[in-house]
Amino acid sequence: MIDRREFVRALGLGGVATLLAPRLAAQGETPPEQGPTGQATIEGAASLTPMNQDAAKTVRRPAKPGAAASMSADERDDLEHQIRCQCGCTLDIYTCRTTDFACQVSPAMHRDVMSLVEGGYSAQEILDAFVETYGERALMAPKKEGFNLAGYLVPFAALAAGAVVLVTALRRMQLRTATVAAARPDPAAPVEMPGTATERAQLDAAIRKDA
């Protein structure tokens, strides 16, 4: 049962939370959309975000001397899967441009990719060119370098740390059990179980052949 002091303490935690939370949330919070009269017009509907059709910038480089297409159409499509359309749809260029003509950004970015491919640039050079123009947001996944490595490695490191903790705990438990078992060798007597529980035990025994 909770006592009064505990209750007040728990309430205090809630108070601290009230002070901290708005600061945490304020970073990302955006006001509701404003209509022409300054009145809030759009509820937060579960719909796709509005597109920014002016987001395309030019990513062009002079063709390399004696340039020929640096990759096949399939390889180019694969490359376009790695570059993000900047219209706000969160899709890659290939998917966006082949899904909807309404977007003018992904076709423009596609033309830039085509031009760089024709200019003899490699996949990595093309990705670098897009990053130079749009920043790292141009990539569908961060490059595996610098701080980004934390993104890729932390989940595995956490899992490894969890595995170490788990195995250590299990070993300790195993040791304790062995000690207790040595001191008390007699197992509990079998208990008759009612209804289907008995049947389950029989089935278990029959399946496992442990009986």
Partner 1 sequence: MILVGELSLWVALLMAAWSAVTSFAGGQMGREDLVASGRRGLYATAAMILLASIGLWTALLTHDFSLKYVASNTSANMPKIYVFAAFWGGQAGSMLFWTLILALYSALAIWGVREKGRELASWACGTLALILLFFIATTCFKANPFDRLSFVPADGRGMNPQLQNPGMAVHPPTLYLGYVATAIPFAFAIAALISRKLDAEWLSIVRRWSLISWFFLTIGITLGMWWAYVELGWSGYWAWDPVENASFLPWLTGTAFLHSIMIQEKRGMLRKWNVVLVVTTFLLAIFGTFLTRSGLVESVHTFAQSPVGSWFATFFIGSTGATIYFVYTRLKDLEAKAELESMVSREAAFLYNNLVLVGIAFSVLWGTLFPVISEWVRGTKITVGPPFFNTVNVPLGLLLLALTGIGPLIAWRKASTSNLRRQFVAPVMIGCITGLTLAVLGMRNFHALVAYTLCGFVSGTILQEFYKGIRARHDMHDESIPRATIRLIARNRRRYGGYIVHAGIVILFSAFAGLAFKKDHDVQLKGGESKELVDPLGHRWRFVSQGTSTSETLNRFVTSVGLEVWRDGVPQGIVSSEKRQHFDSNKQPQFEPSTEVGIRTSSALDLYVVLAGVRDETAELRISFNPLVVWVWIGGLVMAIGGLIVMWPQAERRRAGGYVATLEPAPSRAVLASVR
| Single-letter amino acid code for the residue at 63 | A
Q: Please, which residue, 101 or 185, has the CB nearer to partner 1?
A: 101
Per-residue binding letters, 49-88, with partner 1 (x by CB under 8 A): xxx-------------------------x---xx-x----
Name the token pair of 100: 């909807």
d(CA 104, CA 133): 18
| Interaction between residue 173 and partner 1 (CB under 8 A) | yes
83 - beta bridge partners? 139
Dist CA 137 CA 156 (whole Å): 24
Q: Which is nearer to partner 1, 68 or 205 (CB)?
A: 205
Nearest to 82 by CA among 73, 91, 71, 72: 91
- Sole binder of partner 1 in the list 8, 31, 36, 183 (CB under 8 A): 31
- Asked if 168 interacts with partner 1 (CB under 8 A), we say no
Token pair of 142 as six digits: 């961060």
Question: What is each CA distance from 165 to 156, 171, 193, in whole angstroms?
Answer: 14, 10, 37
Nearer to partner 1, 25 or 65 (CB): 25
138 to 157, contacts with partner 1 by CB under 8 A? 138-142, 147-148, 151-152, 154-156
Nearer to partner 1, 67 or 140 (CB): 140
* 114 is a site residue for partner 1 (CB under 8 A): no
